[in-house]
């Protein structure tokens, strides 16, 4: 998503990017857009000193660490930014809709109580809580949180899984999923930097309402691949990894009204069919 946001950001702002490691391809791309690179690592607080007083607006995209119940990376970022005399005015954090856990397929808005069922979701809840506390402080920035569901793009589709023939759940066992095209997520982040309210969360989800197996069928059809087989939940437990099964255990539908009304978001890809049609354009026979 960061790469997709770059051309949007550099049209309006002077952009600095915190870069953890040397990557010639990334460096060339950042240079192309006139982005100033700052070497640092959110896992090593001493490397973040140059961030103090640097930014008026902050787009926080870094995921939490892979282990633990807390997001130490967000804690280190806040500490580094607080050292400056000039503190950020706004901060936008890309979170996840996984913080809600299983909602039984209900349509939910941003006031729904969070109930994370996995350690990775609990780390996201911790990150949000840290940022909200900072945002409520006298010197804190205006914090906006974008809760994103499954992000898709040409390079982010489950094509390998479909080619392997990995099963999906039969309709009576299936769960609702939510999606957002990476381009629309990038535009939403820019909108939040401009219009986001203080300590406000937004569902960055398109208008699609699909069950998970229907999503896989849509991708398979668009890519002209065989649809994956459907199995019962009991059968899936013997065939799939615990990580995949964890996503199959949560069902919810995200209300995106706040995103549209407050951030004035207009989707380039309002549903996954529109997005897939762009990724897999229909070829006309000669």
**pLDDT value at position 283?**
53
Which residue did the predictor score with more confidence, 213 or 27?
213
**128 with 93: CB under 8 angstroms?**
yes
What is the pLDDT at residue 286? 44
- Is pLDDT above 80 for 282? no
pLDDT digits (tens, 9 = 90+) for 114-133: 999 999 999 999 999 999 99
3-state secondary structure of 275: helix
Domains and CATH numbers, the chain: 2-154+178-208+253-269 (3.40.50.720)
d(CA 2, CA 161): 25
53 with 35: CB under 8 angstroms?
no
Q: How many angstroms separate the CA atoms of 203 and 120, rounded?
A: 19
Contact 205, 256 (CB under 8 A): yes
- pLDDT value of position 22: 73
Candidate from 28-32, 69-73, 250-254 with smallest mean pLDDT: 28-32
Q: How would you classify residue 78: left for phi > 0, otherwise alpha for psi between -120 and 50, otherwise beta?
A: alpha
C-alpha distances in Å from residue 28, one per residue of 23, 60, 157, 252: 9, 22, 26, 40
User: In the prediction, which pLDDT does 25 show?
Assistant: 85
The pLDDT tens digits of the residues spanning 15-65 come to: 999 998 777 888 888 999 999 999 999 999 999 999 999 999 999 999 999
How far apart are the C-alpha atoms of 113 and 110, rounded to whole Å?
A: 8
Q: What is the mean pLDDT of residues 155-170?
A: 96
Confidence of residue 1 (pLDDT cuts 50, 70, 90): confident
pLDDT of the residue at 6 = 92
What whole-number distance in Å separates Cα of residue 220 and Cα of residue 236? 19
């Amino acid at each position: 998503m960061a790469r997709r946001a770059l051309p949007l950001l550099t049209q309006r702002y002077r952009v600095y990017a915190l870069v953890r490691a040397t990557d010639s391809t990334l460096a060339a791309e950042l240079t192309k857009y006139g982005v100033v690179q700052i070497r640092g690592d959110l896992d090593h607080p001493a490397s973040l000193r140059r961030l103090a007083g640097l930014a008026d607006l902050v787009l926080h995209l870094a995921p939490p660490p892979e282990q633990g119940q807390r997001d130490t990376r967000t804690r280190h970022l806040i500490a580094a930014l607080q050292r400056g005399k000039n503190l950020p005015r706004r901060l936008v954090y890309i979170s996840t809709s996984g913080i809600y856990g299983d909602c039984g397929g209900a349509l939910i808005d941003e006031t729904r109580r969070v109930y994370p069922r996995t350690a990775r979701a609990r780390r996201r809840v911790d990150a949000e809580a840290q940022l909200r506390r900072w945002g409520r402080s006298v010197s804190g920035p205006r914090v906006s949180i974008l809760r994103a569901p499954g992000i898709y793009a040409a390079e982010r589709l489950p094509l390998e899984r479909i080619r392997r023939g990995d099963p999906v759940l039969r309709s009576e066992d299936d769960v609702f999923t939510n999606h957002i095209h990476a381009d629309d997520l990038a535009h939403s982040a820019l909108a939040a930097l401009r219009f986001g309210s203080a300590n406000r969360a937004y569902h960055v989800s398109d208008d699609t309402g699909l069950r998970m197996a229907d999503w896989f069928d849509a991708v398979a059809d668009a890519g002209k691949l065989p649809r994956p087989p459907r199995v019962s939940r009991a059968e899936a437990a013997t065939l799939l990894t615990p990580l995949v099964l964890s996503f199959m255990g949560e069902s919810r539908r995200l209300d995106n009204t706040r995103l549209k009304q407050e951030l004035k978001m207009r989707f380039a890809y309002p549903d996954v069919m529109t997005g897939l049609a762009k990724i897999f354009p229909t070829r006309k026979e000669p």
